[in-house]
Chain A
Amino acid sequence: MTHTVRTLALLTLALALPTLAANSASAASYAIDNVHTSVLFKVSHFGIAPFYGRFNSVAGTFEFDAAAADRSKLSLQIDVASIFTADRKRDDHLKSPDFFNAKQFPTITLESARVKAGTARDTYVVEANLTVRGVTKAITFTMTKTGEGSDPMGNARIGFEGSFTINRLDYGVSYAPEGLGKDVTIIFAVEGIKG
């Protein structure tokens, strides 16, 4: 009897070891590869058509653990001055106090507070704090892992994409509420290099 109990205990421990090992391992860290990262925004123009612009400079890091999503973290810093809409006068206007006031608030930040696995495969629900123009609000969005692998230089890479919609008035970006939609959708695709 004692022998049986001991055998069962050892067997249980052996079965649990991989899980324990996975849980004790730290999540892999990645640095955002700006060259292969896209942050776009979409806003309605007079209710006629959606208009898309982008931010050309994005920095940040993320940690990802597929086995334990709650260990994952995301930190993005978007350079407001890198806004690009294919028209310099419009870009200048967007950087002015009418919209982002880029000189006082040069960075838009997104910091995850909690990550959990989504219902669909390779999806993750991210609860994060978004700071725009000095105003921080909690948002929730879904990220999807789009792929992973190595580049020709041997760097391990992983990619995600996601989107969320905010009311720009909540962040003090209140100019022309009749002409430009209040709802702004942020669409992003990030690629990270394992570091």
Chain B
Amino acid sequence: MDPVRALIDGVLAPVLVAAVVVLAIRRPWRSGRADTRGWGVGIALAAAYGIGFALVLGWPALPPVDVTHATPWLAIVAAAIAALPARAAALRRAAVGILGLLTGALLVSPLLDHGLGGASAALHVFLVGATFVLVDGGLERALTGLEPRAGALAVTTLTGGGAVAVLLSDVASLAQVTGGLAAGLGALFALGLWRPAAADVTRATPVVAAVLASTLWSAVLYANGRYEVVALLAASPLVLWRVGPAVARTRRAIVALAIPTLVILLPIGAAAGLAARAYFAEPAAETAPLAVPDSDSPAADGYDPNYGY
């Protein structure tokens, strides 16, 4: 892979799109009403993710042929949910739950034709939906108590950690486009250094949840992703919610900025460590030679009527 092209497609383009869209739609620091403040941030992040996806993997089909390529469309729906006014909190929560379950059904449905039982399918639909709700709800609560830039940096770290976990699950392309979302979040953090309110991504948590839940579960269901890695990443916003604001109350701005990220790095680091251990533990050596038969194959008895010679 050409590293310059990868950098442009997966990082620079999402950074540019996130910054331009968030500035074009609505300058967050000038928003008057608290009820609608920051409504465009979710759209900016969905656009950043979408452009990275289109450049890396091509424009996604609608309806998606490959369910692991449905994430851009899910991110758009999530951006619409993110744009709901704050007073519609109940509707927002319900919409997030429904989108989470629909994401689960979408990811699981092709496997029903290939041996996944009904009970297992239902369990996985629930798990995908729960991941969606957990990431969205946990981040929303955690970010409410944090300084905007500290929150943006923590969410950037979580998304980047998700990308690393997916990369270690043998899905480099989805990892790259998830990195595009992290790049978009990083752009908002950078804007926040100029205007702190520009980094407020509290309203955009459904988009982050949509991308992380669908991508992490794509890696589990369609590649070599691990359940415990998803569990740690999904639970990390809760750690940030419980611990982050308390430890971030310090007078030194740089420390207040860094501590939430360090807090959320603990579960993310553990998840990345587990994913790396699984990835590097697998044998890299040659696969068993063809001549070794399955125990129930005719050749296991020493004679295969079709083998001949």
Q: Which residues of A contact B (CB under 8 A)?
A: 33-36, 56, 84, 86-89, 91-93, 95-98, 101, 103-106, 133-135, 151-153, 169, 172, 174-176, 178-179, 193
* B1 x A176 contact (CB < 8 A): yes
Q: A167 CB to closest chain B CB, in angstroms? A: 13
Q: How many B residues touch A, CB cutoff 8 Å? A: 36
Interface presence of B57 (CB below 8 A): yes
User: Top 4 A-B pairs ranked by shortest CB distance?
Assistant: A96-B223, A97-B68, A104-B110, A96-B170
Q: B220 CB to closest chain A CB, in angstroms? A: 11
Residues of chain B lying within 8 A (CB to CB) of residue A101: 66, 68, 222
Q: B9 CB to closest chain A CB, in angstroms? A: 11
A129 to B284, CA, bound (A): 36
Interface presence of B295 (CB below 8 A): no
Residues of chain B lying within 8 A (CB to CB) of residue A88: 282-287
Q: Which residues of B contact A (CB under 8 A)?
A: 1-2, 5, 57-58, 65-69, 110-111, 114, 169-174, 218, 221-224, 282-287, 290, 304-308
Partner of A96, one of B114, B224, B307: B224
* A87 x B286 contact (CB < 8 A): yes
Q: B46 CB to closest chain A CB, in angstroms? A: 21
Residues of chain B lying within 8 A (CB to CB) of residue A93: 170, 172
Q: Name A's interface SS.
A: loop
* B173 x A35 contact (CB < 8 A): no
Task: Report the nearest A residue to B169, measured CB to CB.
Answer: A96
* A153 x B308 contact (CB < 8 A): yes
Partner of B173, one of A84, A104, A175: A175
What would be 18 A-B contacts, judged by CB atoms less than 8 Å apart?
A: A35-B307, A86-B287, A87-B287, A88-B282, A89-B282, A92-B170, A93-B170, A96-B169, A96-B222, A97-B69, A97-B174, A98-B172, A98-B174, A104-B67, A104-B68, A152-B308, A174-B57, A176-B1
Q: A162 CB to closest chain B CB, in angstroms? A: 22
* B222 x A103 contact (CB < 8 A): yes
A114 to B118, CA, bound (A): 40
Residues of chain B lying within 8 A (CB to CB) of residue A84: 287, 290
Residues of chain A lying within 8 A (CB to CB) of residue B307: 35
Contacts A93-B170, A101-B66, A101-B68 given; indicate if A178 touches B282 (C-beta within 8 A).
no
Interface centre among A93, A96, A101, A152 (most CB of B within 10 A): A96
